[in-house]
């Protein structure tokens, strides 16, 4: 390339990270916590998680969680206090995660083919959870 030629200057656009507002239920019965496993083909597939999901626009956190539990586990829930909130950055998204204590008004029945189990505190330490759940898991282990 000749010395007097210049390469075009292209503006650099900052990457816009997707922000997801997510709610999750912490349901404890007889010393065990309700957890479900993320399905194949989803973000963080194979990880265990506290059930819940993405908040829709104009939806309250509590309404989002009640809707997600009904859709995913066919169970009504009494959504209690928010017990933990964290923000975690993944390479392709930022997740703002709100954990609420919940009481189920029946028996959960997985509706999407996902695995579900009741995990003891000791089990929580051995199951693979998303990195965003780490602080809550530590807190639950300490409170036992």
The Cα–Cα gap between 91 and 138 comes to: 24
Residue 59, pLDDT > 60, answer yes
45: Cα separation from own chain's centroid: 12
Q: Please give the average per-residue pLDDT across 124-133, as a whole number.
A: 92
Give the pLDDT confidence score for residue 121 in this predicted structure.
93
Measure the CA–CA gap between 69 and 77, rounded to whole angstroms: 7
pTM metric for this prediction: 0.84
What integer pLDDT is reported at residue 131 of this predicted model? 87
**Structure tokens given for 72:** 């995913």
What local confidence, expressed as pLDDT, does residue 14 receive?
A: 55
- The DSSP bridge pattern shows strands 48-49 and 32-37 to be antiparallel
> What is the structure's pLDDT at 46?
83
Separation between Cα atoms, residue 26 and residue 70, nearest integer Å: 15
Q: What is the DSSP string of 62-119?
A: HHHHHHHHHHHH---EEEEEEEEEEEEE-SSEEEEEEEEEEEESS----SSS--EEEE
pLDDT tens string 95-118:
899 999 999 999 999 998 899 999
Domain spanning 18-143 has what CATH number? 3.90.79.10
The pLDDT tens digits for 68-85 are 999 999 999 999 999 999
Per residue in 2-52, pLDDT tens? 555 676 676 665 556 688 999 999 999 999 999 999 888 777 788 999 999
In DSSP terms, 104 is beta-bridged to 77
- Sorting pLDDT into bands at 50, 70 and 90, what band is 55? very high
On the question of pLDDT at 141 being above 80, the answer is yes
Contact 48, 37 (CB under 8 A): yes
């Amino acid at each position: 390339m000749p010395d007097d030629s210049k390469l075009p200057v292209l503006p650099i656009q900052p990457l816009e990270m997707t922000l997801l507002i997510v709610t999750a239920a912490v349901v404890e019965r007889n010393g065990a916590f309700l957890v479900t496993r993320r399905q194949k083909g989803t973000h963080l597939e194979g990880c265990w998680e506290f059930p819940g999901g993405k908040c829709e626009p104009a939806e309250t956190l509590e309404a989002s969680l009640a809707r997600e539990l009904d859709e995913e586990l066919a169970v009504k829930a009494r959504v209690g206090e928010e017990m933990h909130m964290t923000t975690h950055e993944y390479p392709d998204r930022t997740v703002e995660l709100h954990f609420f204590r919940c009481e189920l008004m029946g028996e959960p029945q997985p509706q999407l083919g996902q695995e579900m189990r009741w995990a003891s505190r000791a089990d929580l330490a051995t199951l693979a959870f998303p990195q965003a759940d780490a602080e809550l898991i530590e807190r639950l282990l300490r409170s036992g």
